[in-house]
């Protein structure tokens, strides 16, 4: 655990000294800031960042409850522990109900170390979990960016949000100069300005291909003090964009002394690595666009592959996710009887969030694998597959009344595994979006128009959607309905489209809000043999 900064509201210096000794003996390396009045307490919260707040029940005319209320507004993520000799059971109950981590008697200070350790660990895990969710979204956004301006706009916001910093800058290298392309900070910094590489901390970071972690900018000889004096900056982290031959850097700044944690540095570096790939994607995309303007279809396919490549970065998220999930589960299983219900609730929330993020990562990786899968063609009975899928859906939700119609004898030539994925997605969507219908209907069939290819369809009378947004249907992570209304990842239809395209066909939809939807698709006639004749005979009969 990194060095802790603790704010202690207490008017007895000996008690503060005793508590510091207890924490030190318990394995904490901590720096305690003692305040003994409300004004000092508020001022400390305004100019410093802390990992833990300890408070007596009252100092002069300022109460511990008032201190907690202020902390909730100014820094809700910092654990708050009441340490007092004069707290009755009723007061303790009120404090705990309001969200105080715990109330410890000064006669039982031995309890402080395990309670503080648990509270800080839970707080950091919760913050890290939220940051990881944000990072997943940023990876998705960057993978879809098509210009440096788009990347800059994404990174300037994400860099600050991931660590809760007071400022962030996006720096690009231009020969021997550092260009501060954009920033997001509590006060203006250097946006739009250029500095020589050899006098700029961003330049040092790029030249040495190293991360820079500085707790006090005025004690580091690499810092150009004159440039920093007008700013709010006390501490910083700077990481290179691309480890070999860096093309830029991302900086995080704090207005109060702050030693960045390993987790914070890892998050910013992951953002920088993703940004590097996004910039390289843009360069490749622009080159392709310039050289092959008349080959739109091939360009779009290449672009999709580049997007899929960006999604593979999600592999790097699995390790910290496993750690979060593993340690949370260990805490529940091995120390569950020592935790109160609130602690168990927080740990369960962490586990649920990990499962949700793992599912999102799995879908992204599946999409990447799908792009590289080679078709293994064979005779495929789509009618039989559709019957199996709908039978499973009915078995999982036997209480639902759904009228299903499946046209018999729909036989094609293609990859049985991939075509099953197509029908599973389309029929599962139909099942999901008819959930609010008392008389739900789902139909799978096909029609043959003149001598054209069979046009297969999946039709339902569910929620439907506005055709105004139909062009977004098959884009990754685009959804027509809110997550609360209908759950999903926004990957399914993208996978379906790519499978259909691999089979030389196309897919489209017709729908209306609250009137259901119909998804049509065709498959290539690369084999016009016995299967095609069989299907035509079925249609004639």
Q: How confident is the model at residue 327 (pLDDT cuts 50, 70, 90)?
A: confident
CA separation for the pair 10, 67 (Å, rounded): 11
pLDDT at 442: 93
pLDDT at 539: 44
pLDDT digits (tens, 9 = 90+) for 56-67: 988 888 888 899
User: Percentage of residues in the chain with pLDDT exceeding 70?
Assistant: 84
CA separation for the pair 278, 282 (Å, rounded): 6
pLDDT digits (tens, 9 = 90+) for 171-209: 999 999 999 999 999 999 999 999 999 889 999 999 999
With a cut of 80, say whether residue 302 has pLDDT above it: no
Mean pLDDT of the chain: 83
Q: How confident is the model at residue 329 (pLDDT cuts 50, 70, 90)?
A: confident
HEC string of 90-111 equals HHHHHHHHHCCCEEEEHHHHHH
CA separation for the pair 383, 376 (Å, rounded): 19
Mean pLDDT across 444-451 = 77
The residue ranges of DSSP E strands in 451-497, in sequence order, are 455-460
With a cut of 70, say whether residue 86 has pLDDT above it: yes
Distance of CA 442 to the CA centre of its chain: 34
The phi-psi region of residue 385 (left if phi > 0; otherwise alpha if psi is between -120 and 50; otherwise beta) is alpha
Does the predicted model carry a pTM greater than 0.75?
no
pLDDT digits (tens, 9 = 90+) for 465-485: 888 877 777 776 655 555 555
Per DSSP, what are the bridge partners of residue 54?
Answer: 8, 81
CB hemisphere CA count around 345 (13 angstroms): 5
pLDDT at 538: 45
pLDDT at 197: 92
pLDDT at 475: 73
Cβ atoms of 45 and 83 within 8 Å: the answer is no
Q: How confident is the model at residue 384 (pLDDT cuts 50, 70, 90)?
A: very high
pLDDT at 477: 62
pLDDT digits (tens, 9 = 90+) for 509-527: 898 888 889 999 998 854 4
pLDDT digits (tens, 9 = 90+) for 349-381: 888 777 767 766 766 666 666 666 677 888 999
pLDDT digits (tens, 9 = 90+) for 419-441: 988 998 899 888 888 888 888 99
pLDDT at 366: 65
pLDDT at 29: 84
| Domains of the chain by residue range | 4-117, 126-367, 377-540
User: Which is more confident, 367 or 130?
Assistant: 130
Q: What's 377-540's CATH class?
A: alpha beta
CATH fold of 126-367 reads Beta-Lactamase (3.30.450)
CB neighbours of residue 490 within 10 Å: 17
Least confident of 32-41, 121-130, 251-260: 121-130
With a cut of 50, say whether residue 531 has pLDDT above it: no
User: Which is more confident, 283 or 315?
Assistant: 283
Looking at 3.40.50.2300, 3.30.428.10, 3.40.50.720, 3.30.1510.10, the CATH number of the domain 4-117 comes to: 3.40.50.2300
Least confident of 311-315, 406-410, 443-447, 517-521: 311-315
Q: Are strands 52-55 and 4-9 parallel, antiparallel or unpaired?
A: parallel
pLDDT digits (tens, 9 = 90+) for 136-179: 888 888 888 888 888 898 988 988 888 889 999 999 999 999 99
């Amino acid at each position: 655990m990194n060095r802790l900064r603790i704010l202690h509201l207490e008017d007895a210096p000996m008690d503060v000294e005793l508590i510091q000794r207890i924490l030190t003996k318990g394995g904490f390396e901590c720096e305690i800031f003692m305040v003994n009045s409300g004004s000092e307490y508020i001022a400390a919260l305004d100019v410093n960042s802390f990992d833990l707040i300890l408070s007596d029940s009252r100092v002069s005319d300022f109460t511990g409850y008032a201190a907690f209320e202020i902390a909730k507004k100014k820094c809700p993520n910092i654990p708050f522990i009441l340490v007092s000799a004069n707290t009755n059971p009723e007061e303790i109950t009120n404090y705990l109900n309001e969200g105080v981590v715990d109330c410890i008697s000064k006669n039982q200070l031995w309890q402080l170390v395990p309670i503080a350790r648990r509270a800080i660990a839970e707080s950091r895990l919760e913050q890290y979990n939220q940051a990881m969710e944000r990072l997943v979204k940023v990876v998705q956004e960057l993978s879809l960016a098509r210009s440096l301006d788009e990347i800059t706009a994404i990174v300037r916001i994400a860099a600050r949000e991931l660590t809760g910093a007071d400022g962030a800058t996006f720096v690009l290298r231009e020969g021997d100069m550092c260009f501060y392309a954009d920033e997001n900070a509590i006060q203006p910094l250097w946006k739009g300005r250029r500095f020589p590489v050899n006098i700029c901390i961003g330049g040092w970071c790029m030249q040495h291909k190293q991360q820079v972690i500085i707790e006090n900018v005025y004690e580091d000889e690499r810092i150009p003090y004159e440039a920093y004096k007008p700013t709010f900056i006390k501490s910083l982290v700077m990481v290179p964009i691309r480890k070999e031959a860096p093309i830029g850097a991302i900086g995080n700044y704090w207005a109060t002394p702050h030693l960045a944690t390993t987790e914070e540095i890892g998050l910013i570096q992951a953002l920088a690595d993703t940004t590097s790939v996004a910039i390289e994607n843009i360069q490749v995309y622009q080159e392709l666009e310039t050289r092959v303007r008349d080959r739109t279809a091939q360009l779009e396919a290449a672009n999709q592959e580049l997007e899929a490549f960006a999604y593979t970065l999600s592999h790097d998220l699995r390790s910290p996710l496993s750690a979060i999930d593993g340690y949370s589960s260990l805490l529940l299983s091995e120390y569950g009887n020592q935790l109160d219900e609130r602690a168990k609730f927080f740990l369960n929330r962490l586990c649920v969030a990990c499962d949700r993020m793992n599912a999102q990562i799995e879908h992204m990786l599946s999409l990447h694998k799908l792009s590289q899968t080679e078709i293994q063609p064979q005779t495929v009975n789509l009618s039989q597959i559709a019957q199996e899928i709908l039978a499973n859906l009915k078995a999982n939700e036997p209480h639902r009344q759904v009228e299903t119609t499946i046209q018999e004898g729909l036989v094609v030539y293609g990859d049985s595994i991939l075509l099953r994925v197509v029908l599973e997605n389309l029929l599962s969507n139909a099942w999901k979006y008819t959930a609010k219908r008392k008389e739900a209907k789902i139909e799978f069939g096909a029609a043959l128009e003149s001598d054209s290819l069979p046009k297969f369809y999946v039709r339902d009378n569910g929620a439907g959607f506005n055709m105004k947004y139909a062009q977004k249907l098959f884009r990754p992570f685009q959804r027509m309905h809110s997550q609360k209304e209908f759950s999903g990842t926004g990957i399914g239809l993208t996978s379906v489209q790519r499978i259909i395209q691999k089979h030389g066909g196309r897919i489209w939809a017709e729908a209306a809000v609250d009137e259901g939807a119909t998804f049509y698709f065709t498959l290539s006639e690369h084999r016009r043999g016995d299967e095609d004749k069989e299907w035509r005979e079925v249609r004639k009969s």
